[in-house]
Amino acid sequence: MITRLAYLGITSPHTAEWPDLVRNVWGAQLVDGPDGAVRIKFDDAAWRLQIHPGDEDRTEYIGWAVNYEEDLDEVLRVCADLGVEHGRGDDELAASRDVNRLVFFTDPWGFRHEVTWGQSSVPGSFLATRPITGFVTGDQGLGHVLLLLPDIEEGHRFFSNFGFRLSDKIIVPGRLNARFYHCNTRHHSLALGQGPPGTAGLNHLMIEVKDMDDVGTGYELAQTHEVPITLSLGRHTNDGQFSFYHRTPSSFHVEYGWGGIEVDDEVWIPRVYDRTATWGHIPGEGTKGGPGLMHPLAETGVPATDAVQG
Ligand SMILES: [Fe+2]
């Protein structure tokens, strides 16, 4: 029933460091949010990434969208069956997210998910802040997130209930175990990576531009603006994304890419790859701060391999 990634919310003490990255490297648009929040627009939607001021870096919420209002009831039914904490957001919460309605649940790894219908959008309202062709969103949503979990099998069973279908796996024995899921034609909107035991976290958000040169100029500008590069330019094996990764001021990474393939769920056959990149994606300085925006878990999971970039 979930059909796309709608938005992402982060709490961070580093809100002041965000505008330079957003405006001068990504070319995305800044709008003022309430209570000092930094809101970032990638298209005509009111906003898609929000950084709330706070004492520590935290993944506050991951916002998804359904196509039909009634699908929100189905989300709640699934949550009740799974026995996870869930509820309906009131009008005030919906208004604060610029959506018509929303429901929410907390997954077994402590991530709060908000499933929404009716995201506010004003045609022609997006203004890029550097010369780029714009971002690939629409039916494909904001992009994708990769979450690190201590038990990827449990993650697979959990998220499969919400409309995510496996696109493929990347398994590098002893080093990396990741799975990629589609809920629209974007190759993946959600990816799960085996992470360290006792923690879970947001490894990266992928945002996609419409032209290869936008990635090239972004790569150059990231270095000019001293943004720590996590993975150099490269091409992914599974979704064909031409991209680079960098660290954000709030501990997680962003993949800035172009050219991801689209999948047709009717005929798609999931595959397995034994490497993440056909070329490039060489680790850089941005890897030093860790695998992402991690939070501790009450119970430790299964033994884990190294954290991933996917
Ligand atoms: Fe990615």
Q: Average pLDDT in the 85-108 region?
A: 98
Query: Does the pLDDT of residue 302 top 60, yes or no?
Result: no
Question: How many whole angstroms from 46 Cα to the centroid of ligand 1?
Answer: 24
Contact in structure between 65 and 56 (CB atoms under 8 Å): no
Question: How many whole angstroms from 288 Cα to the centroid of ligand 1?
Answer: 18
* Chain segment 162-183, per-residue pLDDT in tens: 999 999 999 999 899 999 999 9
pLDDT (0 to 100) of residue 131 = 96
* Chain segment 26-63, per-residue pLDDT in tens: 999 999 999 999 999 999 999 999 999 999 999 999 99
Separation CA 38–CA 51 (nearest Å): 5
Question: How many whole angstroms from 245 Cα to the centroid of ligand 1?
Answer: 9
Answer CATH for 2-127+139-296 from 3.10.180.10, 3.40.50.1000, 3.30.1370.140, 1.10.287.130: 3.10.180.10
* Chain segment 184-238, per-residue pLDDT in tens: 999 999 999 999 899 999 999 999 999 999 999 999 999 999 999 999 999 999 9
Number of neighbouring beta carbons within 10 Å of residue 138:
12
Q: What are residue 134's DSSP bridge partners?
A: none
Domain locations in the chain? 2-127+139-296
Question: How many whole angstroms from 236 Cα to the centroid of ligand 1?
Answer: 8
pLDDT (0 to 100) of residue 299 = 57
- The secondary structure element, H or E, covering residue 309 is none
Distances (CA, A) of 299 to 56, 108, 135, 149: 22, 10, 39, 12
Coil, strand or helix at 163: coil
